[in-house]
């Protein structure tokens, strides 16, 4: 389990690695410097992961806008001829809506793949550094709620494209 500000009491109670003595303020300055560097390196993995989550959030924001605009354009042009506001033309303007939804789905899918591949690489690097003794062993990364949200939005986008292309669902 990883230590954070919210889990400070739990982390103080965690047993230290018995192969290395606990480093305190009374320890030699070389040991203190090494311990602090090891902790900074461990925290840099968390900062990198949070940065990766922020990147995925920006991909989600962009793809959600594309999916939403595409769906809205499709619904607008599908409803206008029914309201006698715009006479029907020979071309289907819903193709623009479908293209925007498809682009949003593609962008979101690529963002998810990038996120997962980068996380795997980050975990491998952290495992190698732990095995080499450069940082202390830590628990696994917690599940990424941003990644779960992205997966759910991908399903929403797929539902929207099915509704647009096959005129199915509650908006068809």
Note the pTM of the prediction, 2 decimals. 0.71
Instruction: Return per-residue pLDDT of the chain as tens, 172 residues.
Output: 344 444 334 343 343 444 566 766 566 766 666 666 666 677 778 888 889 999 999 999 999 999 999 988 888 877 776 666 555 554 566 688 889 999 999 999 999 999 999 999 988 888 888 888 777 766 677 788 999 999 999 998 898 888 888 877 765 5
d(C-alpha 21, C-alpha 115), whole Å: 37
- What is residue 26's predicted lDDT score, i.e. its pLDDT? 61
- What is residue 45's predicted lDDT score, i.e. its pLDDT? 80
Q: Which residue has the tokens 């690097």?
A: 125
Domain boundaries, the chain: 45-166
- What is residue 114's predicted lDDT score, i.e. its pLDDT? 96
Q: DSSP labels for the chain?
A: ----GGGHHHHHHSPPPTTSPPP-TTS-HHHHHHHHHHHHHHHHHHHHHHHHHHHHHHHHHHHHHHHHHHHHHHHHHHHTGGGTSS---SS-THHHHHHHHHHHHHHHHHHHHHHHHHHHHHHHHHHHHHHTTSS----PPPP-HHHHHHHHHHHHHHHHHHHHHH--STT-
- What is residue 162's predicted lDDT score, i.e. its pLDDT? 87
Whether residue 169 contacts residue 163, with contact meaning beta carbons closer than 8 Å, is answered with yes
User: Which of 59, 58, 67, 60 has the alpha carbon at shortest distance from 100?
Assistant: 67
- What is residue 109's predicted lDDT score, i.e. its pLDDT? 96
- What is residue 115's predicted lDDT score, i.e. its pLDDT? 95
For the stretch 85-121, what's the b/e string if a residue is b when 16 or more beta carbons lie within 10 angstroms of its beta carbon? eeeeeeeebbeebbebbbebbebbbebbeebeebbee
- What is residue 2's predicted lDDT score, i.e. its pLDDT? 43
Half-sphere exposure of 147 (CA within 13 A, CB side): 17
């Amino acid at each position: 389990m990883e230590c954070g500000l919210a889990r400070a009491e739990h982390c103080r109670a965690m047993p230290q690695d018995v192969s290395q003595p606990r480093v305190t303020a009374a320890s030699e300055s070389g040991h203190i410097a090494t311990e602090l560097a090891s902790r900074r390196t461990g925290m840099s993995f968390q900062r990198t992961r949070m940065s990766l989550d922020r990147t995925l959030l920006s991909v989600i924001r962009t793809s959600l806008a594309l999916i939403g605009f595409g769906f809205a354009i499709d619904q607008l042009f599908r409803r206008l001829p029914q309201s006698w506001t715009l006479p029907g033309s020979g071309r289907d303007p819903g193709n623009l809506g479908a293209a925007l939804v498809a682009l949003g789905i593609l962008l979101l899918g690529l963002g998810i793949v990038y996120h997962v591949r980068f996380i795997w690489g980050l975990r491998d690097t952290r495992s190698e550094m732990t095995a080499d003794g450069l940082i202390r062993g830590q628990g696994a990364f917690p599940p990424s709620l941003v990644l779960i949200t992205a997966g759910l939005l991908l399903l929403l986008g797929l539902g929207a494209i099915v509704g647009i292309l096959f005129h199915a669902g509650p908006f068809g």
